[in-house]
């Protein structure tokens, strides 16, 4: 008489597990994957689900079954169950099976780990620096001199080694599309590897609580064709002479074609200012003309109306001198005077003045 | 809200006894509760020191920083003398305990007094050392670790000293007897622990 | 009046608080003058810092926690067996230093639930802010403060102490002891809690807002936070001291005060659970104390433990904080779960009318978890940049912890099998716990797989895990326990219907609140952010609405408890027909628990065994197994 319901339980359990696993595998829970590392990690997730769902279903189904079959019925108020104290064989089984399961999961996870972290030939080194609340990057060049910039441009299909540092507190360099993240820790240099496989722009997120601006500490990783990358580097080296980082990505505002930096030919201050703005400020400031939509700081499309050149300059080099009302001091980085070249600052001011008229 | 108000138990129905004492608790272990409590407390204390040693371990060993920090050095000799002082205080304390066990009050008082005195001396020298050591906790992480560990231990000495003084005053007020000397024994254990801890601190921070 | 001010109590406490503040002010002033600091008497930060440490101590002295020891210390006459501060005859007795473990238990439970509601309300604020992308109600620093206080309150002032409270009430009864081993220490440990709670809550009024570096308070963020951080740093010290003292008390009580015949393997599993938990507390808690000492020293006295900045040349170590912190805080998560395991074991066995399945394995698995619990802390640091080789061993140990936990889950299921399940509120919560905690645990095992953790660490997947184990795990068992022992504690019966309503609302809305957070996390939404990208908007709104409903379900619980306590029907001594000792005395128990120490003659869970008895109330001499002292034996269904 009891056989039948147990069989039913088993069947229901199998069906439920099947459905659960199907859902886990069919639906794509992750954001777009844009790196070699993504695929093995997503697969690991699938495997974990294939193991976990049955375990969970097992526990739930047995509970429900017990409630259904063994609940107290009228007239049983004073009754007790059979005095079963244990069953050694059962206990061995449910000690051994999970143990084996988990050890094999661990070994698999270990292979995935070595896979996503393996050193590869012709790896490109990119230095990442986190600071409250912005990211900066530098590309070491032959002859020691490194390109200092605030934009992250990466060649497709080239293994990248990010060397991550922090200036003030702990941050965490995370590109969800690459799946990998690593803390930026004051005092030490941490490393993480990724090999971009898709052309496009992907968000860089700070994943470790770092204060007021933690939520707005964003940046963009732009993956481009190797050719575009080389020309971008060339740009940078030349532009570097003419003024540090900004001289690129004029196409950003136009939003799109990934042949980086083509149209941006340093010269004109306003143009330089615009590029600099898109690269450094857009993550926090909306500015119609520059096509940026950041929300951490005031909307400069309107906020700058009627502000003098000096005021704007002060706002940039010493943000906390005057706090725009409704906003907090200490969010906007205070060290742009160091991280940006004089030309860029002048460019920014000229540009902002021009658009705020 | 009469949660704990005394009603009668099932088995002695009726007789609602309010102010009788509790039944003598059954002793399910030979170890004395106070003693066990002190031992457990000492385990916690060891872990506190353990954490401070973790800091020491990370800053000196893991990060491989020079020890002590460049341009500073630690007064091994004075601290060595201090170690001797503290250890001898352990001996005098033991002596005092034996005395009261034998019922020799005067020896007991003398022992307690000297112990307290030695402890005080240790503290005094320690503080004096801080004054003349020539670097401050904010000079470097190594300095912080040094002040952290020795300071933590100093605090324990101070606490132990307080307890010793209490025991001593009670000794002079004529408390304790060959039968009843737990009040000496258990603070004693704590004091011995503080001494042993110092030996470890001294050898890791000063000598190694 | 002066009499009132001299006698222990609230008046004297108030006076001493003022004294404490004055003392701190004077101390700081004098020291700074001696060291020739500028404006020595006007350094708000220093004064507050010292006051935060000193005032609670003064308060405790004023309230009278130390009076006995002061008498003892100064050699004045004391009566160790003095029971003047024992028991409670009116509600007032709950507001003084009381040495009765039953009173203290109630004090613990009520206090911690107060802070639970506070922390929950804060969560409601958070959810309101998170309902839409962008900033609506609070600015980002306030938001950071909200989730930090939320977590700190719910962990340090709710889950940990409420378990201590339940055990405080039940444990001595269960092992046949008249009280805890150190009643005065017990009282002191309780009264440290309100102090800690007030500190954590008061941080909202500190200049610069509440501490906003998360409940993890990672350095160096925490060392250069505004003053509010000190409220956390110090508050945690008091909470920690309190739980160490209680744990010590439990251990001594369990080891030295068991009734005759109560061998270790005749102890109810709740006692085993609290034994293991107390071991964890005594060994691990000092580490969080130390970690907060470091932060305090760095902040207040300019120590350099964590100053690792390039160029500063201070050689501090940032990762050291995380190692020290997690060496406590991982065991802490089991401190927050093991007592729950104990509660569930009691309830499932009684409500299924069957012996617990595999009693010994249940006990050993607890110890296994304790041991393993110390070997896994770095699974919180997979992406912290620590030496990468540490990760793999930590992954393995972490995953292996699922084995002893699994043994417990499966044994509970086997306990249900063929039983006679009484599906009342405590049982419902226990069954709900089985499912929700398994889910949370499994997500934990997924997190232990390094590559997966590298992706989801610091996302809402973690937040989901946290709540499935802490709410679906700990909180469910707490509710189960509160309902189960409510009759014993109050002498009243709770309202069964309301109880069921509470369970179903909680169970459903809990899952719809925290379930979707897994998806948010997988989709890449970082945690600890007040503002998020459009793509997460729909799910977050859904979660927020669900969480409000969850909040309302708490009100049902609140009403049920208050109403039943004041006007519920009187409860019988043993409404659940349980065998364990606490049910063999009246509800509520007599002031000294037992009029004669009971004798234990059998296991605690012998349901269905004809004529089985756990404890009998004759003196040990004529002790032989009889039906006396047990009303629980009756024909089995088979
Ligand atoms: C009650 C509290 C509690 C409990 C019990 C647990 C239990 C577990 N936790 Fe959890 N954890 C937390 C509270 C808790 N955790 C908190 C608060 C955090 C976040 C801290 C912060 O950053 O703020 C956290 C974070 C956290 C992390 C870090 C994530 C990150 O920050 O990147 C990890 C990683 O390994 C982890 C793992 C585990 C594991 C493996 C268990 C295991 O013990 C679970 C074991 C149980 C089961 C597995 C279910 C039952 C078992 C079976 C049915 C047998 C068969 C099962 C299998 C074969 C899979 N937890
Ligand atoms: C036991 C522990 C516990 C409990 C019970 C809860 C309960 C809840 N938690 Fe909490 N939570 C944590 C422990 C806990 N949390 C921890 C450790 C963190 C990590 C913090 C960090 O990152 O540092 C966290 C973080 C955390 C976050 C992530 C914050 C972030 O990273 O940005 C969120 C967001 O939704 C959240 C929500 C909730 C909600 C909605 C509840 C609800 O269950 C609350 C339900 C209870 C109530 C609502 C109170 C009672 C009801 C009333 C008083 C009636 C009035 C209420 C209304 C209906 C308006 N919690
Ligand atoms: Cu930087 Cu968060
Ligand atoms: Cu953990």
pLDDT average, residue stretch B11-19: 39
Structure tokens at B4: 């704990």
Angle of the C160-174 helix axis to the C338-352 helix axis, nearest 10: 50
pLDDT-derived band at C93, boundaries 50, 70, 90: confident
Which segments within A133-184 are labelled E, that is strand? 134-140, 146-149, 152-155, 160-166, 171-174, 181-184
Cα dihedral C382, C388, C390, C396, rounded to 10, equals: 60
Instruction: Specify if A175 maps to a domain.
Output: yes
Say yes or no: A46 contacts chain C, CB-CB below 8 A.
no
∠ Cα B128 B131 B135 (to 5°): 135
CATH at A285 = 1.10.760.10
Q: Does residue A127 share a domain with residue A48?
A: no
Instruction: Specify if A57 maps to a domain.
Output: yes
Give the other-Cβ count within 10 Å of A78's Cβ: 12
Q: Does residue A272 share a domain with residue A217?
A: no
Q: For chain A, where are the alpha helices, taking DSSP H only? A: 3-26, 38-70, 88-117, 226-243, 251-254, 269-280, 300-303, 309-317, 336-339, 342-356
Give the other-Cβ count within 10 Å of A15's Cβ: 11
Which residues contact ligand 3 via a Cβ below 6 A?
A 130, 133, 171, 206, 208-210, 214, 217
pLDDT average, residue stretch C620-638: 46
Cα dihedral C161, C162, C165, C169, rounded to 10, equals: -160
CB A128 within 8 A of CB A165: yes
- C631: cis peptide before it, omega within 30°? no
User: Three-state SS for A260?
Assistant: coil
Structural domain count of chain A:
3
Angle of the C338-352 helix axis to the C425-448 helix axis, nearest 10: 140
CB B26 within 8 A of CB C260: yes
Q: Which of A238, A273, A308 marks a domain boundary?
A: A238
What single DSSP character describes residue C459?
Answer: B
- What pLDDT score does B5 carry? 34
- What pLDDT score does B23 carry? 73
- What pLDDT score does C394 carry? 95
Q: Mutation test of ligand 1: which of C327, C411, C447 has the most ligand atoms closer than 8 Å to its C-beta?
A: C447
Distance between CA A30 and CA A202 in Å, rounded? Answer: 14
Classify residue C414 as exposed, middle or buried by CB count within 10 Å of its CB (0-12, 13-18, 19+).
buried
Distance between CA B30 and CA C561 in Å, rounded? Answer: 42
CB B208 within 8 A of CB B57: no
Structure tokens at A113: 């780990």
Q: What is the pLDDT of residues B104-129, one digit of tens each?
A: 899 999 999 999 999 999 999 999 99
Say yes or no: C402 contacts chain B, CB-CB below 8 A.
no
Q: Does residue A140 share a domain with residue A108?
A: no
pLDDT-derived band at B20, boundaries 50, 70, 90: low
Structure tokens at C598: 């009971």
- What pLDDT score does B83 carry? 93
C75:B37 CB<8 A:
no
Q: Does residue A233 share a domain with residue A133?
A: yes
Cα dihedral C142, C148, C153, C156, rounded to 10, equals: -160
Q: With a threshold of 0.95, does the pTM exceed it?
A: no
Q: Does residue A295 share a domain with residue A222?
A: no
ipTM of predicted assembly, 2 dp: 0.90
Classify residue B162 as exposed, middle or buried by CB count within 10 Å of its CB (0-12, 13-18, 19+).
middle
What single DSSP character describes residue A127?
Answer: E
| C409: nearest Cα among C446, C464, C357, C444 | C357
| Beta strands A134-140 and A146-149, pairing class | antiparallel
Q: Does residue A31 share a domain with residue A106?
A: yes
Instruction: Specify if A243 maps to a domain.
Output: no
Instruction: Specify if A80 maps to a domain.
Output: no
- What pLDDT score does A245 carry? 39
| C243: nearest Cα among C284, C202, C304 | C284
Q: What is the pLDDT of residues C319-348, one digit of tens each?
A: 999 999 999 999 999 999 999 999 999 999
B51:C291 CB<8 A:
yes
Give the other-Cβ count within 10 Å of C544's Cβ: 18
pLDDT average, residue stretch C215-229: 89
CB C60 within 8 A of CB C97: no
A66:C419 CB<8 A:
yes
Say yes or no: C423 contacts chain A, CB-CB below 8 A.
yes
Say yes or no: C586 contacts chain B, CB-CB below 8 A.
yes
Q: What's the whole-number average pLDDT of chain A?
A: 84
Check whether B12 has a pLDDT greater than 60. Answer: no
pLDDT average, residue stretch B69-78: 85
CA dist C381 to A162, B141, C215, C330, Å? Answer: 19, 22, 15, 11
DSSP bridge partners of A134? A131
- What pLDDT score does B8 carry? 32
Instruction: Specify if A75 maps to a domain.
Output: no
* Higher pLDDT pick, B181 / C409: C409
Instruction: Specify if A76 maps to a domain.
Output: no
Structure tokens at A202: 């992907």
A80:C634 CB<8 A:
yes
pLDDT-derived band at C636, boundaries 50, 70, 90: low
How far is the centre of ligand 4, averaged over its atoms, from the C-alpha of B10 (Å)?
45
Q: Does residue A187 share a domain with residue A290?
A: no
pLDDT-derived band at C81, boundaries 50, 70, 90: low
B44:C301 CB<8 A:
no
pLDDT average, residue stretch C223-251: 93
Per CB-CB distance under 8 Å, the chain B contacts of C109 are: none
pLDDT-derived band at C537, boundaries 50, 70, 90: very high
Say yes or no: C459 contacts chain B, CB-CB below 8 A.
no
Atom of ligand 1 nearest to the CA of C410: 53
**Which residue lies with its CA nearest to atom 28 of ligand 1?**
C380
Interface of C with B in 155-194 (CB under 8 A): 176-179, 181-182
**Which residue lies with its CA nearest to atom 47 of ligand 1?**
C441
Interface of A with C in 59-118 (CB under 8 A): 59-60, 62-63, 66-67, 70-72, 76, 78-87, 90-91, 94-95, 98-99, 102-103, 105-106, 109-110, 112-113, 116-117
CB C328 within 8 A of CB B155: no
Distance between CA C555 and CA C124 in Å, rounded? Answer: 13
Q: Does residue A343 share a domain with residue A289?
A: yes
Q: Does residue A230 share a domain with residue A132?
A: yes
CATH at A215 = 2.60.40.420
- The environment of the single-atom ion ligand 4, i.e. residues with CB closer than 5 A, is C 330
Check whether B94 has a pLDDT greater than 60. Answer: yes
CB A299 within 8 A of CB A284: no
Instruction: Using 70 as the pLDDT threshold, list the residues of chain A that sit under it.
Output: 1-3, 239-267, 293-295
| C392: nearest Cα among A192, A189, A117 | A117
pLDDT-derived band at C252, boundaries 50, 70, 90: very high
Distance between CA C77 and CA C59 in Å, rounded? Answer: 24
Q: Does residue A210 share a domain with residue A163?
A: yes
pLDDT average, residue stretch B17-31: 70
Distance between CA A234 and CA A229 in Å, rounded? Answer: 9
Q: What is the pLDDT of residues A14-48, one digit of tens each?
A: 999 999 999 988 888 899 999 999 999 999 999 99
- What pLDDT score does B30 carry? 86
Query: Which of A73-77, A262-266, B153-157, C509-513 has the lowest average pLDDT?
Result: A262-266
How far is the centre of ligand 3, averaged over its atoms, from the C-alpha of A287 (Å)?
24
Q: Does residue A145 share a domain with residue A232?
A: yes
Phi, psi torsion values for C464, nearest 5 degrees: -60, -50
Percent of chain C residues past pLDDT 90, beyond the cut: 70
Test the C interface: residue of A13, A69, A80, A219 with most C CBs within 10 Å: A80
Q: Does residue A159 share a domain with residue A99?
A: no
Per CB-CB distance under 8 Å, the chain B contacts of C302 are: 137-138
Distance from CA of B88 to the nearest CA of C (A): 25
How far is the centre of ligand 1, averaged over its atoms, from the C-alpha of A29 (Å)?
21
Q: Which of A81, A116, A151 marks a domain boundary?
A: A116
Shortest CA distance from A116: residue in chain C? C451
Structure tokens at A323: 């706090």
Q: Sheet holding A134-140: strands in order across?
A: A146-149, A134-140, A124-131, A160-166, A190-194
Give C38's contacts (C-beta < 8 A, 6+ positions apart): none
What is the extent of the structural domain holding A219?
A: 123-238
C282:B143 CB<8 A:
no
Say yes or no: A24 contacts chain C, CB-CB below 8 A.
no
Atom of ligand 1 nearest to the CA of C445: 40
Instruction: Specify if A74 maps to a domain.
Output: no
CB C586 within 8 A of CB B9: yes
Specify the length of chain C in residues. Answer: 638
Distance between CA A121 and CA A99 in Å, rounded? Answer: 38
CB C216 within 8 A of CB C329: yes
Q: What is the pLDDT of residues A289-342, one digit of tens each?
A: 877 766 678 888 888 887 888 888 888 888 888 888 777 777 788 778 877 888
- What pLDDT score does A248 carry? 38
- C6: cis peptide before it, omega within 30°? no
pLDDT average, residue stretch C67-93: 77
User: Three-state SS for A70?
Assistant: helix
- What pLDDT score does C479 carry? 97
CA dist C45 to A330, A346, C142, Å? Answer: 20, 41, 20
Structure tokens at B152: 């933590």
DSSP bridge partners of A218? A205
Check whether C311 has a pLDDT greater than 70. Answer: no
Q: What is the pLDDT of residues C179-215, one digit of tens each?
A: 899 999 999 999 999 999 999 999 999 888 889 999 9
Check whether B169 has a pLDDT greater than 60. Answer: yes
Instruction: Specify if A246 maps to a domain.
Output: no
CB pairs under 8 A between A and C: 278
């Amino acid at each position: 008489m009891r056989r039948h319901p147990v069989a039913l339980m088993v069947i229901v359990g199998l069906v439920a597990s099947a459905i659960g696993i199907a859902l886990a595998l069919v639906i794509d829970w992750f954001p777009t994957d844009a790196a070699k590392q993504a695929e093995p990690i997503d697969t690991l997730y699938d495997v974990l689900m294939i193991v976990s769902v049955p375990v969970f279903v097992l526990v739930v189904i047995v509970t429900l079954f017990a409630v259904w079959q063994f609940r107290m019925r009228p007239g049983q108020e004073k009754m007790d169950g059979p005095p079963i104290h244990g069953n050694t064989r059962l206990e061995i089984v449910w000690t051994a099976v999970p143990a084996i399961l988990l050890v094999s999961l661990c070994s698999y996870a270990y292979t995935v780990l070595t896979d996503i972290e393996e050193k590869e030939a012709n790896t490109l080194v990119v230095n990442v620096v986190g600071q409250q609340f912005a990211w900066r990057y530098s590309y070491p060049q032959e002859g020691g001199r490194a390109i200092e910039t605030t934009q992250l441009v990466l060649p497709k299909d080239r293994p990248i080694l990010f060397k991550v540092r922090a200036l003030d507190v702990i941050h965490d360099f995370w590109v969800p599309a690459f799946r990998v993240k690593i803390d930026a820790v004051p005092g030490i240099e941490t490393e993480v590897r990724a090999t971009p496989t898709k052309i496009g722009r992907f968000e860089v997120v700070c994943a470790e609580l770092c204060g007021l601006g933690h939520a707005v500490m964003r940046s963009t990783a732009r993956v481009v064709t190797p050719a575009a990358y080389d020309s971008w580097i060339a740009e940078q080296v030349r532009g570097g002479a003419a003024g540090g980082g900004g001289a690129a990505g004029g196409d950003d505002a136009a939003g799109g074609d990934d042949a980086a930096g083509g149209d941006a030919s340093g010269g004109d201050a306003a143009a330089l200012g615009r590029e600099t703005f898109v690269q450094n400020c857009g993550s926090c400031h909306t500015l119609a003309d520059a096509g940026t939509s950041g929300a951490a700081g005031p909307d400069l499309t309107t906020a700058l109306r009627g502000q003098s050149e000096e005021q704007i300059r002060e706002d940039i080099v010493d943000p906390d001198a005057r706090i725009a009302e409704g906003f907090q001091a200490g969010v906007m980085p205070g060290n742009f005077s160091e991280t940006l070249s004089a030309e860029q600052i002048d460019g920014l001011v000229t540009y902002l003045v021009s658009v705020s008229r | 809200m009469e949660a704990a108000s005394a009603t009668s138990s099932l088995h002695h129905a009726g007789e609602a006894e309010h102010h009788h004492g509790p039944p003598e608790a059954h002793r399910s272990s030979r170890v004395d509760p106070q003693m066990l409590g002190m031992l457990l407390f000492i385990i916690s204390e060891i872990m506190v020191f353990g954490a401070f040693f973790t800091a020491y371990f990370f800053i000196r060993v893991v990060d491989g920083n020079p020890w002590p920090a460049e341009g500073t050095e630690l007064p091994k000799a004075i601290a060595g003398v201090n170690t001797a002082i503290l250890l001898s205080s352990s001996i005098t304390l033991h002596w005092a305990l034996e005395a009261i066990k034998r019922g020799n009050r005067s020896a007991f008082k003398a022992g307690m007094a000297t112990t307290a005195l030695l402890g005080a001396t240790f503290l005094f020298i320690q503080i004096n050392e801080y004054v003349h050591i020539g670097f401050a906790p904010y000079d470097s992480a190594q300095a912080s670790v040094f002040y952290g560990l020795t300071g933590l231990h100093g605090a324990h000495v101070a606490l132990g000293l307080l307890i010793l003084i209490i025991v001593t005053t009670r000794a002079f007020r004529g408390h304790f007897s060959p039968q009843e000397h737990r009040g000496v024994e258990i603070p004693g254990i704590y004091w011995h622990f503080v001494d042993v801890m110092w030996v470890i601190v001294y050898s890791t921070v000063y000598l190694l | 009046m002066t009499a009132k001010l001299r006698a222990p109590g609230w008046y004297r406490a108030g006076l001493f608080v003022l004294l404490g503040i004055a003392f701190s002010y004077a101390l700081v002033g004098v020291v700074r003058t001696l060291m020739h600091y500028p404006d020595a008497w006007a350094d708000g930060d220093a004064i507050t810092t010292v006051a935060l440490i000193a005032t609670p101590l003064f308060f405790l002295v004023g309230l009278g926690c130390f009076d006995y020891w002061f008498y003892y210390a100064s050699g004045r006459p004391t009566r160790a067996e003095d029971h003047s501060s024992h028991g409670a005859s009116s509600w007032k007795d709950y507001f003084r230093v009381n040495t009765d473990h039953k009173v203290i238990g109630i004090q613990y439970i009520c206090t911690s639930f107060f802070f639970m509601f506070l922390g929950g309300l804060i969560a409601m604020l958070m959810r309101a802010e998170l309902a839409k992308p962008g900033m609506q109600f609070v600015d980002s620093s306030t938001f950071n403060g909200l989730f930090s206080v939320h977590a700190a309150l719910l962990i340090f002032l709710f889950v940990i102490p409420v378990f201590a409270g339940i055990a405080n009430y039940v444990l001595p009864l269960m092992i046949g002891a008249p009280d805890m081993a150190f009643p005065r220490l017990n009282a002191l440990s309780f009264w440290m809690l309100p102090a800690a709670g007030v500190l954590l809550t008061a941080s909202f009024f500190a200049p610069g807002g509440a501490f906003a570096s998360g409940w993890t308070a990672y350095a160096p963020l925490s060392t250069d936070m505004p003053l509010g951080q000190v409220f956390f740093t110090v508050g945690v010290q008091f909470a920690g001291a309190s739980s160490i003292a209680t744990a010590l008390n439990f251990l001594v009580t369990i080891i030295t005060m068991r009734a005759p015949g109560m061998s270790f393997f005749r102890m109810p599993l709740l006692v085993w659970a609290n034994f293991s938990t107390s071991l964890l507390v005594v060994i691990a808690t000092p580490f969080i104390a130390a970690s907060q000492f470091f932060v305090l020293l760095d902040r207040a006295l300019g120590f350099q433990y964590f100053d690792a900045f390039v160029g500063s040349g201070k050689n501090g170590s940032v990762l050291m904080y995380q190692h020290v912190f997690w060496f406590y805080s991982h065991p802490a998560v089991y401190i927050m779960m093991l007592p729950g395991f104990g509660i569930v074991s009691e309830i499932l066995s009684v409500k299924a009318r069957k012996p617990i399945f595999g009693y010994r394995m249940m006990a050993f698995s607890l110890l296994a978890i304790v041991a393993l619990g110390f070997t896994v802390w770095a699974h919180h640091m997979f992406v912290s940049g620590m030496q990468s080789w540490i990760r793999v061993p930590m992954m393995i140990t972490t995953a292996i912890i699922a084995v002893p936990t699994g043994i417990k889950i499966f044994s509970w299921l086997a306990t249900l099998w063929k039983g006679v399940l009484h599906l009342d509120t405590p049982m419902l919560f226990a069954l709900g716990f089985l499912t929700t905690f398994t889910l949370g645990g499994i997500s934990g095992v997924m997190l232990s797989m390094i590559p997966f953790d590298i992706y989801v660490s610091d996302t809402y997947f973690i937040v989901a895990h946290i709540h499935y184990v802490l709410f679906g795990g700990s909180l469910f068992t707490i509710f189960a326990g509160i309902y189960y022992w409510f009759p014993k504690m109050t002498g009243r019966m709770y309202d069964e219907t309301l109880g069921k309503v509470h369970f179903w609302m909680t169970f459903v809305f809990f899952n719809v609140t925290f379930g979707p957070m897994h998806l948010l996390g997988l989709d890449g939404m970082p945690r600890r952010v007040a503002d998020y990208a459009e793509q997460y908007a729909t799910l977050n709104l859904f979660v927020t609405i669900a969480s409000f409903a969850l909040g309302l379900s708490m009100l049902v619980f609140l009403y049920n408890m208050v109403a039943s306590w004041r006007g519920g029907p009187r409860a019988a001594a043993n409404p659940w027909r349980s065998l364990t000792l606490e049910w063999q005395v009246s509800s509520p128990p007599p002031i000294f628990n037992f009029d004669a120490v009971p004798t234990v003659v059998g296991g605690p869970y012998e349901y269905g065994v004809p004529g089985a008895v756990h404890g009998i109330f004759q003196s040990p001499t004529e002790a032989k197994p009889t039906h006396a002292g047990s009303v629980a034996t009756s024909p089995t269904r088979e």
